[in-house]
Structure 1
Amino acid sequence: MSYDCDILVIGGGIVGLSSAYAITRAAPGTRVVVLEKEPGPALHQTGRNSGVIHSGIYYRPGSFKARFAVRGAAEMVRFCAEQGLPYEVTGKLIVATEREELPRLHALVQRGREHGIPVRELGPAQIAEREPAVRGLAAIHVGSTGVCDYGAVARRLARLAEEAGASIRYGAEVRAIGRRSSSVAVRTADGAVLRARALVNCAGLHSDRVARLAGDEPGMRIVPFRGEYYALAPSRAGLVRGLVYPVPDPAFPFLGVHLTRGIDGHVHIGPNAVPALAREGYDWRTLRPAELAGTLAFPGSWRIARRHWRYGAGELRRSLSKRAFTEAVRRMLPEVSPADLVPAPAGVRAQAVLPDGGLVDDFLFAEAPRTVHVLNAPSPAATASLPIGREVARRALAALGMVRV
């Protein structure tokens, strides 16, 4: 049988491109083709986030997220420096504004030390030294956090992979997958058929759908959550010097509204987290009935709603009311007013959900004959993209009986 390539990667976001790059480095000469349905790389989750290089402080010790984020933050800084891409290691503040948050803040200090992350405890005066407009009872400074441009990183990974012999095909939406004992065949929307020795699914928001096309039951479903942002008006951008986060509440699935001065100097505020009406539903007007019906038919969606309805009601209120969103921001940044907030582009988080309504809390990989699926890779996947890529490469090459990385 003739093959068009050795390994076919579905998805041209930062994880798919990092995987292709890692394969070409681990096994030079391996023929790699990346299929991306959009006209360019990194147009969804990768290109629509806040650009934070996460430290890994929030994640359970021993988890993929913890190991890959801690390692990936250092590697991302080094990669950007070596490639001449914009980045800055700013550190960040995690700020407690209520007394009941103090025990959780102290627990984060201990977790940071377990991970070997540089963490320093601050009082109100020290908070004011770093962020004069921010108010809090206590904070911790996490020194390894920074910002970069993940779209630029993805484009550079694409170029490096192509220079090493990989081929990237844009506008190539996968419509069908057939798997035999010795090969995997993929048909794209334009009718082209490609045969490979192995398949890697890095389809992000569509990872579960691609797994089913391959004949595999992933045991989860991607439920899309839109994260909506505002930006501080340019005249008020000086209110925030760096990165400021609230203390996360483990009872809720997301981090809450935070303040991020990006690599371009703009200050983004958000995100909230509301159900999206489509997998690429970046506003309330974008509705895809078939995708919404699939989400509503999935039992896990209703179980999430029942479990977190109070939290969800607050997020919806902040989505529909700028004043309510401003109230949330004012907990840490009391000087801000609704007039200071300018709408900014939203993102969509591809969250893997189990049938019992549980959120998959870690990166999730699954393997089938000649196939590797990346089924859950939300934040901090961009930070961790280089070690994730090596993990995917190791699994894909092992499936072919080739050199392990």
Structure 2
Amino acid sequence: MAHNFDVVIIGGGILGTSISYFLSHLNKSKKIVVIEQEHNVAFHTSGRNTGKVHAPYLYNPEKKKLFAKAAFHGFEMWEEYSKLRNLPFKKDGVIEVALDKKGNSVLEKYLKWGKQNGLEDKDIKLMNSAELKKIEPEIKCESALYVYKDGSTDYSIFTDSVMKDSEASGTKFILDTKVTKIKKENGKWKITLDGEYEIFAKFLINAAGGEAINIAHDAGLAEKLTDVHFRGEYWRAPKEYNNLTKTSVYSVPEFPDYPFLDPHWIIRVDGSCEIGPNAVPVFSPYGYNKTENIKEFIPKMLEMLGSGARKAIFDKQFQELAMNEIQSSMSKSAMIDRVKRFLPKIDADRITEKGTAGIRSSVIDENGKFVPDVILIDDDTSFHILNYNSPGATGALPFASHIISHLNKNGLFQSEDLDAQCGPWKFSEIIEKLER
């Protein structure tokens, strides 16, 4: 059974689905297909997160300019889209707290970055502990950055809605189907699905998230890069804690060069509260359980030992941090005690229910360093998006637009109408905002 397409997108996460949305509006005569191995879109990282619509205060405007711009405009676009489709969206803000004097200077840096990235005085404010106490009496800290332009949503619901809009514009979604092989043949991509049947495409976009490195390797690209996977776990707070704070609370990360996060106090869009995530090293992008991790342990360890990841896993600081995260997975109190540092009223004994776990895949280069930014790789008939992590969901719509504009400028895939109306947005106007 063979089918021919102009574009195949591998990965039905929030980014792959958003790319299909804009491509379908800009290319009415072209055949576009999205392949997703799960039974619905946003099944993994895109739907297993805190649901935060992040303001761009955490991102260096020089080193992460594009991500910061995407987050800034993504907030506006998701808010507009939520109104259009009557989807959950709450502008509820976030508080970043410093727990020591060293953290104070980090918050000052975040304030500066936020304003450089487009936030106004009304969107972000640095407070001392006494000022914050008047607003949030339960929070204990040295100082705090109150970011008013931050929101909450449910990215699973958003992605499902974007998929339906993309389908209405002509995109075909093949769900519950795994890509088992890709091969260049006679100038086209031959993609084998579930080892049984094949589709052919002129152009391939790799937006496969936790599988993106593997797809790139199969295409003969990014061979010096590898990935490591971290499972982020959550604990659900009982209803009696739902009004403990008015908004979510993050603490300044102690080790920003590593993908280890101090657990946050999360208020979700439905009003429920959670503590998380940690970052437990696992051996698969689907390593939610022991069975999957045992199955992938040997092949993943061999891969890492034969790559730059070897330097990272033998680094003493990395090992120490990894062990701390494993301990936080094995001991509920170890994880909750981190949040008690700024919310001392929390009682670990009252928290008994686990939340949904999600997995983040981080790329390591040949020198054993974690790559801090997204990696975009051009090939003559393919495009690969690697290391697309937070604030990836926030910026998915504008970032997808950027990718399509990039493909056009580089002559890789020419869209038919860059002035087209894409739902509530004119595509050319999105790009104009991103390029300012």
1:68 aligns with 70
1:31 aligns with 31
Shift of 1:147: 0.5
In the alignment, structure 1 segments of 5+ residues that lack a partner are none
1:233-252 to structure 2, matched below 5 A, reads 233-249=238-254, 250-252=256-258
Task: Give the distance between the partners of 1:402 and 1:197, measured in 2 at CA.
Answer: 14
Letter in 1 for 2:355: A
Query: Larger deviation: 342-351 or 311-320?
Result: 311-320
Letter in 1 for 2:368: G
Shift of 1:226: 0.6
Task: Give the distance between the partners of 2:241 and 2:39, measured in 1 at CA.
Answer: 36
SS in 2 for 1:209: helix
Letter in 1 for 2:114: G
2:95 to 93, 96, 104: 93
Task: Give the distance between the partners of 1:196 and 1:295, measured in 2 at CA.
Answer: 34
1:112-261 to structure 2, matched below 5 A, reads 112-117=114-119, 118-180=123-185, 182-249=187-254, 250-261=256-267
Is 1:301–2:309 an aligned residue pair? Answer: yes
Letter in 2 for 1:361: P
Letter in 2 for 1:373: H
Shift of 1:345: 1.4
1:257-268 to structure 2, matched below 5 A, reads 257-268=263-274
Contact 1:223 1:295 in 2 (8 A): no
Letter in 2 for 1:399: L
Task: Give the distance between the partners of 1:161 and 1:349, measured in 2 at CA.
Answer: 26
Task: Give the distance between the partners of 2:327 and 2:240, measured in 1 at CA.
Answer: 27
Shift of 1:374: 0.8
Is 1:338–2:340 an aligned residue pair? Answer: no
Task: Give the distance between the partners of 2:112 and 2:362, measured in 1 at CA.
Answer: 27
Shift of 1:46: 0.9
In the alignment, structure 2 segments of 5+ residues that lack a partner are 419-427, 429-436
Query: Are residues 251 and 196 of structure 1, via their aligned partners in 2, closer, same or farther at CA, if it must alter by over 3 Å?
Result: closer
Shift of 1:288: 4.6
Contact 1:3 1:197 in 2 (8 A): no
Contact 1:277 1:284 in 2 (8 A): no
Contact 1:278 1:292 in 2 (8 A): no
Letter in 1 for 2:310: W
1:365 aligns with 376
Task: Give the distance between the partners of 1:86 and 1:288, measured in 2 at CA.
Answer: 38
Contact 1:258 1:271 in 2 (8 A): yes
Contact 2:107 2:126 in 1 (8 A): no
Letter in 1 for 2:96: I
Task: Give the distance between the partners of 1:291 and 1:387, measured in 2 at CA.
Answer: 37
Task: Give the distance between the partners of 1:291 and 1:215, measured in 2 at CA.
Answer: 24
Query: Larger deviation: 32-41 or 130-139?
Result: 130-139
Contact 1:276 1:284 in 2 (8 A): no
Task: Give the distance between the partners of 1:218 and 1:201, measured in 2 at CA.
Answer: 15
Cα deviations by residue, 1:146-175 (Å, 9 ceiling, x for unpaired): 100100110011001000001001122111
1:319 to 329, 335, 339: 329
SS in 1 for 2:181: strand
Cα deviations by residue, 1:37-74 (Å, 9 ceiling, x for unpaired): 11111110011101000112111214232221122122
Query: Are residues 29 and 131 of structure 1, via their aligned partners in 2, closer, same or farther at CA, if it must alter by over 3 Å?
Result: farther
Task: Give the distance between the partners of 1:291 and 1:395, measured in 2 at CA.
Answer: 37
Letter in 2 for 1:300: G
Task: Give the distance between the partners of 1:184 and 1:73, measured in 2 at CA.
Answer: 35
Contact 2:312 2:318 in 1 (8 A): yes
Contact 1:109 1:140 in 2 (8 A): yes
Task: Give the distance between the partners of 2:335 and 2:222, measured in 1 at CA.
Answer: 39
SS in 2 for 1:238: coil
TM (norm. structure 1) is 0.94
Shift of 1:395: 4.0
Cα deviations by residue, 1:325-376 (Å, 9 ceiling, x for unpaired): 1211111110111113231111100111112221111111111121011111
Task: Give the distance between the partners of 2:223 and 2:148, measured in 1 at CA.
Answer: 37
Query: Are residues 255 and 77 of structure 1, via their aligned partners in 2, closer, same or farther at CA, if it must alter by over 3 Å?
Result: farther
Query: Are residues 22 and 402 of structure 1, via their aligned partners in 2, closer, same or farther at CA, if it must alter by over 3 Å?
Result: closer
Shift of 1:108: 1.1
Is 1:40–2:40 an aligned residue pair? Answer: yes
Shift of 1:291: 5.6
Query: Larger deviation: 294-303 or 21-30?
Result: 294-303
Letter in 2 for 1:328: R
Shift of 1:181: 5.6
Letter in 1 for 2:381: R
Shift of 1:230: 0.8
Shift of 1:26: 2.4
Contact 2:224 2:308 in 1 (8 A): no
SS in 1 for 2:232: strand
1:376 to 387, 400, 423: 387
Query: Are residues 365 and 107 of structure 1, via their aligned partners in 2, closer, same or farther at CA, if it must alter by over 3 Å?
Result: same
Query: Are residues 112 and 301 of structure 1, via their aligned partners in 2, closer, same or farther at CA, if it must alter by over 3 Å?
Result: same
Task: Give the distance between the partners of 1:396 and 1:186, measured in 2 at CA.
Answer: 21
Letter in 1 for 2:95: L
Q: Percent identity?
A: 26
Task: Give the distance between the partners of 1:229 and 1:99, measured in 2 at CA.
Answer: 28
1:277 to 283, 286, 294: 283
1:354 aligns with 365
Query: Are residues 395 and 182 of structure 1, via their aligned partners in 2, closer, same or farther at CA, if it must alter by over 3 Å?
Result: farther
TM (norm. structure 2) is 0.88
Letter in 1 for 2:260: F
Task: Give the distance between the partners of 2:32 and 2:301, measured in 1 at CA.
Answer: 33
Q: How many residues align?
A: 404
